[in-house]
Structure 1
Amino acid sequence: MKKSAIFFLSLVSTFVFSQKIWTLQECVNYAIENNLQVIQNSYNKKLQDNSLQIAKRQYLPSVSANINNNASFGQGRDIFGNTNRNDNFSNGANVSADILLFNNGRLEKNIRKTQFEVEATQYDIEKIKNDISLQIAQQYLSILLNREVTRISESALQNAEKLYQRAKITTEVGTTAQTILAEAEAALAREKLNVKTAEINTERSLFSLAMLLQLPDYKNFDIQNVDVDNKIDAPLYSAAQIIDKAYENQPQIKAAESRIKSAEAQTEITETGFWPTISANAGVGTSYFNSLVTNNAGRDINGNPIKESSFFKQYKDNFGQQLGLSANIPIFNKGITKLNIEQSKINEEIARTSLQLQKQDVLQTVQKAQFDATSNYESYITSTEVEKSSKLALDFAEKSYNAGRTTIYDLNNARNNYANAQGSVAQAKYNYLFSLKLLNFYAGIPLSL
């Protein structure tokens, strides 16, 4: 029954995914909620949250209860040196509590340290979410690019089909040579290959995005088409304008800063090892004793039988309380506390170095995004100029071919040049778009299309 239910849910899930056309935001949201790496780090966050609760509860007293029962059998000597049978049963019960009164703020410092670790873990999760979002955005744009390349190839295929049909007619009536038909047929085959290659690349991009989303069914996965404006503007921001903002809002920077504070708090905790620890304790308890022998061992010094009190009467008569105050004063522990402090300070330097590494990584990423955005924008402008020139050259080649003043080879070459120019424009446009989105992302602007 259980297997049938799982199979049914799997079928329903597959059907739902196959009917859905995903937007970029839906892809990002789904990945953030279901990515295993995010889920795994969420458990780490829960562990840190529990550690924080444990640290806070150290302020509370520890209370424990103890009940013991003892029975002894055999010969034994009393205080007068007489050997007698000594069989007895004893019972005791007590409740005690102890609480820490002074440790130079160790508990409070430990709470602060754990809070910083909780913050760092949360920022780690945000960093993973950001990385996944950027990967999805890049793959989403790759799909759109491959679809545009497919449309360009399909347009070229239609033109090649028209040229082939015309060459076939003119060759059959004898106005053109057989080589013209052969070249037109070869050009048609090349364009079919280009279309198929573009379609495969599109499917491969869809597959890669489905794998990023960790979907159960990738074959029916599809995304929403987005019309990307061909009129794009130069980048609004420079790396110098973005970097300070990136240092403020990027989670990897914040996580490194929190770990510095955690390391500093750990040093303060370690330094409390030089201070005394004062604790207080209190308790209540009672006991019961019963001799199990009936011979002289059960008599007093005058030979009179000893009457054992009842269990509850002894518990009442033997009830007592105790209070205590203790101090643990460190005097010499082989210099271990001093070495631990040195290690804590080294960990502080490691944490500070990690922050500098994170800042350097963010700086290089932003600078690279700025360089890529500028380069891709220039490539786009140049590619559009080449596209216009190639389109003009193709128009002239078609007119010349129709007038019989040029060969089919020249026409096919002009068409290939125009198709390549269109592909270069699309490539530069989507590369620029991703670089721009990356810059905007580091500037604090959410991902969108």
Structure 2
Amino acid sequence: MAEISRLSQNGGCRFKYLLTLTLEMHMNMRLLPYLRLSAAGLALAALLGHPSVFAQTAGTPPAASATPGEGQRVPQRLGLQTCIDIALQNNLTLRQSQIQLRNSELQLRQARLNRLPNVGAFLTQGYNSGRNINPVTNAFVDQGVLSNNFQASVQATVYNGGLLQNTIKQNDLLRQSNEATVKATENNVILTVIQQYLNVLTGQEQLVVAQRQRDVSVAQLDRTQKLVNAGSLAEAELFVIRATIANDELAIVNAQNTIELAKLALLQAMNVPAGGPTTSSFEVETVNVPDPTVTPYGTTSDDVFGVAQQYMPDVRAADLRVKSDAFGVQVARASLFPVVTLNGNLSTLYSNVGLQRRFDLGTVTNIDQTILVNGIPTTITTQQPNYRFENYTFFDQLGNNLNRSVSLQVQVPIYNRSLARTRILSAQLQQQNSEIAAANTRLQLRQNIETAYTNLRAAGNRYQATLAQVTQLERAFKVSESRLNAGALNSTDYNVAKGNLDRARAGLVQAKYDYVFRIKILDFYQNKPLNF
């Protein structure tokens, strides 16, 4: 900081001009080029060997990027892994977790750097006019005095109650907790994408089922038309079949709408605006999901929970945060202990009216002096050597005035308005809150596993029942179709049989994917790969 001040002196129009340049140099120095000083300031900068000045500066944070997914176009054909990659790239919650992780890494780095000594430098240049004190001789002089003062100091912490080490451990555990949080967020994003992807596949299979049923109705219309032409059936039967085809077309439209909504949900899970690529402009790759065989799951819910506690990153993140807050209590306790610091100082100064160097010229000057000896005037001649005086150079004065000092400082806390006790209690409450949060995380995990296990059994029972229903309805429909072709069944009863079969087949597709997804959920809790 450069500052020029004009001080009024008492009893005259003398002024004091002071130019002060303060330089703080820390361990993390950055070179600040192009620092412009006044003429006196440039002279001081030249003493440092470079016109630049060191100062501590903070790193510039990266500029905020555009909204993820904005203007992004997806491929015309998307696979499951591609959808997952896009979602992980665009998810905002994941980005927040990653930024929090980077911040914890910076905090850990700074905590480690805090163990290093603090180094600083201080220098001043001043000019005093009028009656002043020579800073070198401490004598009064009635002339302008140009002076410089240079100081360098170093301070190292010897003991502070374990504050530095415990802070490093606390920040390291916090960093590990944030890493686990990032992984937990990634898992949530992946599960959401898989679920939405399976919803699209479910809609596509239901569309295929609806189209097949429409084709069956069209074929039945042709057969009914032939029977009507032959006089075996009344013409009213054609209207019933045409109404059935209209219902099948409506089912196809509903299935297509379901696919569009499922695709929209998939795009939103990937954080890709639907206003760019429309939902009909891309297709998803079909995943070969064979018809499952319903068997009891090989692991109980308690066993799944026991394995999940070891692998689930959200549980690990909660446990690490508890350990981090435990070290936070130790950090707060450090304020109860003395702080021992080792200080070193190096200083020197220069003045244009400082002491002068004396050189003997080798000659003498005779000085006559008359004194009274027993009342008689007597002349006495004395010889005085002749000297030549010369000012010490700038660097000579800096070397002659060099001062070194080392000190050990002990700061003992006696009473600070219970600030330390309050910090300790606050840290303990934070630790208790983290412990409750960890217990709640385990509780939610157990409840989710129990719910998933129950849903799996329910989905298996539903799939088995629906599969049996479809088998029986297919047999009944074949009989109804044969009877209709033979003229022994009216179109109304035929449509009832066909409608029951259509609904059962659509329900079977949904039950199939629901059962497969429930299995994958329990596999996920056991750290098994989510492949199909």
TM-score by length of 2: 0.75
Q: Which amino acid aligns with 2:442?
A: K
2:454 to 371, 379, 392: 371
Structure 1 residues 195 and 270, CA gap change in structure 2 (3 angstroms): same
Q: Which amino acid aligns with 1:62?
A: N
Displacement of 1:291 in angstroms is: 4.8
Displacement of 1:163 in angstroms is: 2.1
Q: Which amino acid aligns with 1:261?
A: K
Separation of aligned partners in 2, 1:340 and 1:135 = 41
Residue 121 of structure 1 pairs with residue 178 of structure 2 = yes
- Match in the other structure for 2:308: 246
**Bigger-Rg structure (1/2):** 2
Separation of aligned partners in 1, 2:292 and 2:77 = 30
Displacement of 1:99 in angstroms is: 0.3
2:208 to 138, 146, 151: 151
Deviates more, 1:389-398 or 1:177-186: 177-186
Separation of aligned partners in 1, 2:162 and 2:328 = 12
Residue 53 of structure 1 pairs with residue 114 of structure 2 = no
Contact 1:210-1:218 within 8 A present in 2 as well? no
Separation of aligned partners in 2, 1:100 and 1:174 = 109
Q: Which amino acid aligns with 2:288?
A: D
Displacement of 1:104 in angstroms is: 2.0
- Match in the other structure for 1:197: 254
- Match in the other structure for 2:340: 278
- Match in the other structure for 1:395: 478
Separation of aligned partners in 1, 2:244 and 2:77 = 38
Residue 221 of structure 1 pairs with residue 282 of structure 2 = yes
- Match in the other structure for 1:410: 493
Separation of aligned partners in 1, 2:416 and 2:480 = 93
Displacement of 1:40 in angstroms is: 2.8
Separation of aligned partners in 2, 1:83 and 1:35 = 74
Q: Share of identical aligned residues, percent? A: 21
The 5-angstrom pairing of residues 43-82 of structure 1 reads 43-75=99-131
Displacement of 1:28 in angstroms is: 2.2
Residue 105 of structure 1 pairs with residue 162 of structure 2 = yes
Displacement of 1:76 in angstroms is: 5.9
5+ unaligned residues in a row in structure 2: which ranges? Answer: 1-69, 355-387
TM-score by length of 1: 0.88
Displacement of 1:207 in angstroms is: 2.3
Contact 1:18-1:217 within 8 A present in 2 as well? no
Separation of aligned partners in 2, 1:151 and 1:256 = 46
Separation of aligned partners in 2, 1:125 and 1:84 = 71
SS at match of 2:85: helix
- Match in the other structure for 1:289: 351
Q: Which has the higher contact order (CA 8 A, sep 6+)?
A: 1
Displacement of 1:313 in angstroms is: 2.2
Contact 2:332-2:423 within 8 A present in 1 as well? yes
Deviates more, 1:223-232 or 1:140-149: 223-232
Separation of aligned partners in 1, 2:133 and 2:430 = 63
Separation of aligned partners in 2, 1:281 and 1:205 = 69
Separation of aligned partners in 1, 2:389 and 2:218 = 122
Contact 2:161-2:335 within 8 A present in 1 as well? no
Deviates more, 1:85-94 or 1:127-136: 85-94
- Match in the other structure for 1:5: none
Write out per-residue CA displacement over residues 153-201 of structure 1, whole angstroms, 9 at most, x where no aligned residue: 0111001111223334444565433321211111111100101111121
Q: CA-atom RMSD, angstroms?
A: 2.4
Structure 1 residues 213 and 333, CA gap change in structure 2 (3 angstroms): same
Residue 354 of structure 1 pairs with residue 437 of structure 2 = yes
The 5-angstrom pairing of residues 246-265 of structure 1 reads 246-265=308-327
- Match in the other structure for 1:325: 408
Contact 1:31-1:213 within 8 A present in 2 as well? yes
